[in-house]
Amino acid sequence: MNSKLIAPSMLAADFGNLQRDVEMVNNSDADWFHIDVMDGHFVPNISYGMPVIQAMKKHATKPFDVHLMIEKPERYIEDFAKVGADIITVHYESTVHLHRTLTQIEDAGCKAGVVLNLTTPVSVLEDILPKCFMVLLMSINPGFGGQKFEDITYNRIKKLRRMIDEQGLSTKIEIDGGVTDKNIKQLVEAGADVFVAGSHVFKSENPTETIKQLKQIANS
Ligand code: DX5
Ligand code: ZN
């Protein structure tokens, strides 16, 4: 069973050839599109917003996993739902009333998730976990693709997996940052379910083949 999912990060796509890269993902073994939204405040970088997501959505045949790296994401949830988000994850560090924001995401018709920065303790999720379709653990400092995976992530996954299992939940664990064919197996063994991969996929010679390989290793 292919229970481990691959979500290529469109941040690493060729923005001059977005339709081509969206179609590559459509026709690959990937499961979701990972869409990184950055506002230049919560993270130092600016990526893209609603119009670009809407344009990609026109050509996409797989779910949009929208990762909001923006301050006060509650201001824009309905807008992201409208342009095609299927899953919306917000940073724990970016919104004061997390429970309300997750409810807002659900009310907009999307699946809701929480993201933790690299060193935000996973224990802060204890009470919100039943409301999370997914938890995204950053394995880099967010803001840029192409950074080196941080090894502290393995223990964080194990701790979170224990919490999820103890509560008898089916919350997925997603990993974002520096995922490659070299670490994906170990991430699966630690207890992760969904893998974002940006530069490893798009900077490779044959992105379709690279996705296939990641999917195979994750599910082997
Ligand atoms: C960074 C983003 C990531 C990024 C991952 O803040 O959240 O999704 O695109 O890129 P790689 O896989 O190159 O580390
Ligand atoms: Zn991301």
* 68 Cα–ligand 2 center, Å: 8
Query: Does the annotation count 176 as an active-site position?
Result: yes
Which helix (H) or strand (E) segment holds residue 176: the answer is strand 172-176
Question: Could you say which residues of the chain have pLDDT below 70?
Answer: 1-2
Residue tagged active-site, from 21, 31, 65, 176? 176
Residue tagged active-site, from 31, 36, 39, 65? 36
Structure tokens at 4: 């481990």
State which ligand 1 atom lies nearest to the alpha carbon of 43. Answer: 6
pLDDT at position 1, please? 58
Q: Which domains are present in the chain?
A: 5-218 (3.20.20.70)
* DSSP letter for each residue of 97-145: -HHHHHHHHHHTT-EEEEEE-TTS-GGGGTTTGGG-SEEEEESS-TT-S
Query: Does the annotation count 151 as an active-site position?
Result: no
Residues with beta carbon inside 6 Å of ligand 1? Answer: 9, 11-12, 34, 36, 67, 140, 142-147, 176-179, 196-200
Compute the distance between CA of residue 82 and CA of residue 85 in angstroms, rounded to an integer. 7
What tens digit of pLDDT does each residue of 33-86 get?
Answer: 999 999 999 999 999 999 999 999 999 999 999 999 999 999 999 999 999 999
ipTM over 0.90: yes
* 143 Cα–ligand 2 center, Å: 8
Query: pTM score > 0.95 for this model?
Result: yes
Q: Is 34:8 a contact under the CB 8 Å cutoff?
A: yes
* 46 Cα–ligand 2 center, Å: 13
33 labelled as ligand-binding? no
